[in-house]
Amino acid sequence: MTNDPEMLTGMVLNGAHGIFDVHTDNGILRCTLRGKLKKAFIPAPVVRSATRATSRYEKITSQSKMKRGENGELAIPAMPARLSVGDYVKLRRLDATTGMIEEILPRQSELSRRDSASTEKKVMQQTLLANLDQAVLVFSTAQPDPHFSMLDRYLAICESAEIRPVICLNKADLAHEDYVDQAAELYTHLDYAVIWSSTVTTQGINDLRSILQNHMTLFTGPSGVGKSSLVNAIEPGMALKTGLISNATGKGKHTTTGSQLYPLTGGGWLADSAGIRALAAWNLAPEDLASCFIEFRPYLGECEYSDCSHIDEEGCAILQAVEDGAIDERRHRSYARILLEEER
């Protein structure tokens, strides 16, 4: 009697045309999906005990984020509807280089965008990255000048997805306008991590390397801000070797899944920014957008009208906070711009 083929736990690095590269403790295996998963991505929930976790993948999946419902009961994380880069899976090893994915494990987080095939009647969501820990949002201090309204949009997306954002102000060696320092001070006051970096002086490089360690991180930002140079400073040769960083316009070669993960020598994973062009706050429900601006949260529920949009209504607690100087006026303009775009 022969033993069953080896069962492993791993993480999806990339995928195209139904073939996925999966990183396991025993190396990278090229895998396909078991037939039942191809027809319906509805694997049965599996509860694992942390005391039985032996590999680092078992430990990660056993500690999957568990939220409590209104009655205090533990809720199992939502099962994915489609396999994406960053998903943890259970697979059956077929030989030294290939495997068969048997089960998709619950996600802790996901970063999504509207599927290009969506219509007004049928909106579909495409997950760019699953189980993302954080996003490093790179903007330059000058050449080009930073557009903080775009940064505010990215921050709102991260807040909605419960992904930790890290603001990186690159090209810190260049002379820049005073409003850049003022914005950095504001974001710091809001408890966002702000790192000033320069590949010329090496300022902030060690800080970035430390922040990336043992995390799954999206490294993204507008075109021309120096992402490739930063990546090469953090992990020499990576951007050149992998073509990791493309412009935020999305004009780059990437797999049909839209993303790929690359290992860092110090531990952790770096995700490319393919598809960031299509990221927008469209999938933030208008009624939830205000809570994605963290300085708004203390005032939510305090408005005179329960359906207040916080744009121009009388008795709005957030507008009063703007007038009092407790909320920055520019940040409120960013909120209003996103909200009005969503309601079109």
Q: How many domains does the chain have?
A: 3
Residue 286: predicted pLDDT: 78
The answer to which of 29-43, 95-109, 203-217 has the lowest mean pLDDT is 29-43
CA distances from 291 to 138, 297, 299, 319 (A): 23, 6, 10, 15
Residues 16 and 143 in one domain: no
Residue 82: predicted pLDDT: 81
Express each pLDDT in 148-176 by its tens digit: 999 999 999 899 888 999 999 999 999 99
Percent share of the chain, pLDDT over 70: 71
Last residue in a domain, options 59, 78, 107: 107
Average pLDDT rounded to a whole number, residues 260-277: 78
Q: With respect to residue 112, please indicate whether it lies within any of the assigned structural domains.
A: no
Residue 125: predicted pLDDT: 65
Type of residue found at 2: T
Residues 133 and 78 in one domain: no
Highest mean pLDDT among 65-79, 165-179, 248-262: 165-179
User: Nearest 5 degrees, angle CA 238-CA 240-CA 246?
Assistant: 95
Confidence of residue 259 (pLDDT cuts 50, 70, 90): confident
Residues 169 and 35 in one domain: no
Residues 290 and 250 in one domain: no
Q: With respect to residue 312, please indicate whether it lies within any of the assigned structural domains.
A: yes
Q: With respect to residue 169, please indicate whether it lies within any of the assigned structural domains.
A: yes
Q: With respect to residue 121, please indicate whether it lies within any of the assigned structural domains.
A: no
Structural domain of residue 220, as residue ranges?
127-278
Last residue in a domain, options 278, 302, 325: 278
Residue 46: predicted pLDDT: 33
The whole model's pTM is what? 0.79
Question: Are the CB atoms for 116 and 124 separated by under 8 Å?
Answer: no
Confidence of residue 318 (pLDDT cuts 50, 70, 90): very high
Last residue in a domain, options 49, 76, 107: 107
Residues 79 and 190 in one domain: no
Q: Which helix (H) or strand (E) holds 338?
A: helix 329-342
Look over the chain and give the mean of its residue pLDDT values, rounded to a whole number. 80
Average pLDDT rounded to a whole number, residues 245-254: 40
| DSSP one-letter string for 120-151 | SS---EEEEEES--EEEEEEESSSSPP-HHHH
Residue 206: predicted pLDDT: 97
Residues 301 and 262 in one domain: no
Residues 322 and 183 in one domain: no
Question: Are the CB atoms for 104 and 80 separated by under 8 Å?
Answer: yes
